[in-house]
Structure 1
Amino acid sequence: MSNNNKTPAIRFKGFTDTWEQRGFSSVFEILQNNTLSRADLCDESGLAQNIHYGDVLIKYGEVLDVGNEPLAYINSDKIVTAMKNSYLQNGDVIIADTAEDATVGKCSEIANLGDKTVLSGLHTIPVRPKEEYASGYLGYYLNSNSYHDTLIPLMQGTKVTSISKSALQGTSISYPKSLDEQAEISAYFQNLDNLITLHQRKCDKLIQFIAAMLKKLFPQNGAYKPELRFKGFT
């Protein structure tokens, strides 16, 4: 991002407008989260679903497809009712405020929510954009080095690192005014994510194949010869 004109070094064809740069608090409103631990959640069913900070840090990507991602459940009617004004919506962003390293601030943008009731859980800061943004843009931007590097000086702690709501509110958000340009950027990274997932599946299958062949091409359980041998060797 150029400091002079607030635009990135590379842009998609047809977009030339200067980017906006606004304070975090003018872009987002902060929602309520709950403090339920893993032990307080259920995997089978419940009154609402829950997003735990550990899953944001390790499991979920920049965009969380709620319709296709299994989430834990909350069975406490008291908590679900008390958080009625903070039920998540598409476009909301869930930020992990605690980690054991500098991954603090990793986040997931909510997508494909459907009619599910979902709440933001332990050690998360849920935020809602005050204006419309293209789906996925904020998730990718807030996870980029461009933004995350600004959080590092604001992190606190040694063994466990955290970042506060007030610290986040002192940061700035950059974005193109055009929703079309935001959408182009989001689609570009989503395509890359899909390619990574495809190749990861192929890699996982190859790893399984190697494990199977290691058993077949080497003697097992005291045998003096393997189950399979290459042609010509007896």
Structure 2
Amino acid sequence: MLEDYKKGIMQRIFSGNLRFKDAPGQPYPDWEVRKLGEVASFKVTNSFSRENLNYESGEVKNIHYGDIHTKFKTILDLKKETVPFVNPEISISRISGENYCQVGDLILADASEDLNDVGKCIELVNLNGFILLAGLHTILIRPLNDIFFSGYLGYLFASKIIRLQIQKEAQGSKVSGISPLRLKNISIPIPSLHEQEKIAEFLSAIDAKIAAIQTQLNKTLEWKKGLLQGMFC
């Protein structure tokens, strides 16, 4: 229920039908709309496979596109999520520091057999002191400084208004793919920074509520499982 509520609210927010107001109750300025290629740059990613990654040890972490599809939440905090390391024997010397992930970057999965999943995206909000790379079948997008509030773009790219644009730009038959060149054509609504902050905090609060309910549900299921086992031992 809350997931459906969130989807509906996101549609209303990012289409401009639901607007926030400032503290005195006045509306924020009208939104600007610009192409993604005007407000962000695209960085180089690597092609490390699963065989090049591990969860035990290393100095550098790496985002695999499969984890974007199946594991990671929209807003990625390395303090809260488990991200694999690049195997120690794999050299990253050819990767420029400019292409290391930074807080505020977006990482998109550039391909999927399901058109609905192509371009699925995460925003990085905390690297937790690690060097992080964007890996196989990903696109690394770096927004211009001082234009976007933390979390806004992550939620925006999960919204229907952006998802439909990405699906329109995607190419391929059996496997759909999106390229940086075509992503540059995506139209990005840009509210004021203060309104972006309210949007990001509001949607983050919904996510926190969803997570709390899921945690409670898991505990209830475990309690029920233990109760049944005790009854029939």
TM-score for both structures, normalised by structure 1: 0.85
Distance in 1 (alpha carbons) for counterparts of 2:93 and 2:122: 21
Matches of 1:91 and 1:80, distance apart in 2: 24
Contact 2:59 2:130 in 1 (8 A): no
The 1-side partners of 2:97 and 2:44 are apart by 10
Q: 1:20 aligns with which of 32, 42, 47?
A: 32
Letter in 2 for 1:211: K
Q: How does 1:92-107 map to 2 (within 5 A)?
A: 92-101=105-114, 102-107=116-121
Tell me how far apart the structure 2 counterparts of residues 76 and 24 of structure 1 sit (CA, whole Å). Answer: 37
- Which residue of the other structure, out of 40, 43, 55, is the alignment partner of 1:43? 55
Which ranges in structure 2 are unaligned for 5 or more consecutive residues? 1-13
Paired letter, 2:200: S
Post-superposition offset of 1:172: 1.1
Measure the CA separation in 1 of the matches of 2:217 and 2:66: 25
- Matched AA of 1:11: R
Q: Which of structure 1's runs of 4+ aligned residues deviate more than 4 A?
A: none
Q: Which has the higher contact order (CA 8 A, sep 6+)?
A: 2
How far off is 1:197 after superposition? Answer: 0.5
Q: 1:205 to 1:7 in 2, by over 3 A?
A: closer
Deviation of 1:156 after TM superposition, in Å, equals 2.4
Output the CA distance in 1 between the equivalents of 2:168 and 2:108. Answer: 17
Q: Matched residues in 2 for 1:57 and 1:193: separation? A: 18
* Percent of matched pairs sharing the same residue: 36
- Is the Cα–Cα contact under 8 Å of residues 21 and 195 in structure 2 kept in the other structure? no
Who is 1:210 aligned against?
224
1:88 aligned to which of 61, 76, 101: 101
TM superposition shift of 1:150 = 1.1
Higher helix share goes to which structure? 2
| C-alpha separation in 2, matches of 1:78 and 1:61 | 29
1:173 maps to 188
Q: Which runs of 5+ in 1 are unaligned?
A: 1-5, 218-225, 228-234
| Aligned equivalents of 1:77, 1:83: Cα separation in 2 | 15
Instruction: Say whether the 8 Å CA contact 1:109–1:139 is kept in structure 2.
Output: yes
CA distance in structure 2 between the aligned counterparts of 1:71 and 1:156, rounded to whole angstroms: 29
The alignment's C-alpha RMSD in Å is 1.8
Q: Give the superposition deviation at 1:157.
A: 2.7
Measured at CA, do residues 42 and 197 of structure 1 come closer, stay the same or move farther in structure 2, by a change above 3 Å?
A: same
- Which residue identity is paired with 1:58? T
Q: For residues 173-205 of structure 1, give each alpha carbon's deviation from its aligned partner in whole angstroms, at most 9, with x where no partner exists.
A: 1110x2111111000010000000000011111
SS in 1 for 2:20: coil
Cα contact 1:48–1:80 (8 A) shared by 2 = no
1:10 maps to 2:24: no
Q: Is the 8 A contact 1:52 1:123 kept in 2?
A: yes
Q: How does 1:116-127 map onto structure 2 within 5 Å?
A: 116-127=130-141
Greater Rg, structure 1 or structure 2?
1
> Secondary structure at the residue paired with 1:212?
helix
Residue 209 of structure 1, CA deviation: 2.4
TM-score (norm: length of structure 2): 0.85
User: Match for 1:150 among 154, 165, 180?
Assistant: 165
